[in-house]
Amino acid sequence: MERWSGRVALVTGASSGIGAAVAYQLQDHGVHIVAVARRVDKIEEAVAKARTDAKTRGRYHESKAKPGKLYAKKCDVSKEEDILALFKWIKETLGGVDILINNAGLVKMAGTTNASTEDWKIQLDVNVLGLSICTREAVQNMRARGVDDGHIIHISSTAGHEVLTCHIAMYCAAKSAVRALTEGLRKDFVEHKSNMKVTCLCPGLTRTELANNFPNINIEELYKLPYLNPEDVGDAVLYALGTPPHVQIHEIIIKPVGEQ
């Protein structure tokens, strides 16, 4: 990870869960973090809490690096104008990004035959189009600066491998699209004879706020199932970023032990 010290990572969806954990892990390894979400006022507190939670669980990894800075910025990734304004700010203030963690996401209970178009659309807008626009802007920024070792990490899901139930089929379709976009980006890098990397992470059930707005779900019952903690996914981010220049970790599936 030493080579990333002093460089810049954009982490989307950093006001909670996996994004907050990835943000503190990269920050503590010396990376400057642009942490974004709609609830910008929650970001710093969420990142600090994710660090404390990992320490409490004995899952915190010390690093010798001087911690990076954290810039909390408001950005709704379902709005292209927000993303473009964010990249303009990054370019003017920090020069650009070297790492992009495409983590912002949401799931709706929105079945195949009974959901509103709005509930389908927002899942595609955030999980697929927002991720794609951030990727395009990050890669164009890296190319313009002559950065050829950048790394894009997409957070997909085991739901991108398996349609778990008809009630979240559009979420599964979105996460499956993220896997296709991973291979598309890898082929783009090959075509450009670029050394940039793309990695897709597919976690199983992770204890975050994601399921909080499911109607009729008892959260305590849900987490009687085996689950991961956010820093478990962050560890996979560190692993993928820490590989030597010729190694691309294409995809990692992470399941809690005992998942059905």
List the one residue from 35, 70, 77, 170 that touches ligand NDP (CB under 6 A). 77
Q: Is 163 in the site for ligand NDP (CB under 6 A)?
A: no
- CB 230 → ligand NDP: shortest distance, Å? 6
Judged by CB under 6 A, does residue 150 bind ligand NDP? Answer: no
- For residue 219, the 8-state DSSP code is H
| Per CB under 6 A, 126 contacts ligand NDP | yes
Burial of 109 (0-12, 13-18, 19+ CB in 10 A): middle
Of 172-211, binders to ligand NDP (CB under 6 A) are: 203, 205-206, 208-210
Residue 65 or 122 with smaller CB distance to ligand NDP: 122
Q: Minimum Å distance from CB 208 to ligand NDP?
A: 3
Closer to ligand NDP by Cβ: residue 183 or 259: 259
Q: What span, in angstroms and rounded, lies between the C-alpha atoms of 162 and 38?
A: 29
Q: What are residue 103's phi and psi, to 5 degrees?
A: -110, -30
Q: Are 24 and 50 in contact (CB under 8 A)?
A: yes
Where in the sequence numbering do the catalytic residues fall? 171
Which secondary structure element, helix H or strand E, spans residue 36, and what is its range?
strand 32-37
Beta pairing partners, 151: 99, 197
Q: Determine, following the binding rule CB under 6 A, whether residue 9 of this chain makes contact with ligand NDP.
A: no
Residue from the set 31, 104, 172, 241 that interacts with ligand NDP by CB under 6 A: 104
Question: Taking the complex as a whole, how short is the minimal distance between the CB of residue 85 and ligand NDP, in angstroms?
Answer: 13
**From residue 27 to residue 66, what is the string marking binding to ligand NDP with x (rule CB under 6 A)?**
----------xxx---------------------------
**Could you give the CA distance from residue 196 to residue 187 in angstroms, rounded to a whole number?**
11
Cβ at position 214, least distance to ligand NDP in Å: 11
What angle in degrees, to the nearest 10, is found between the helix axes of 230-241 and 40-56? 90
Cβ 9 vs Cβ 30: under 8 Å = no
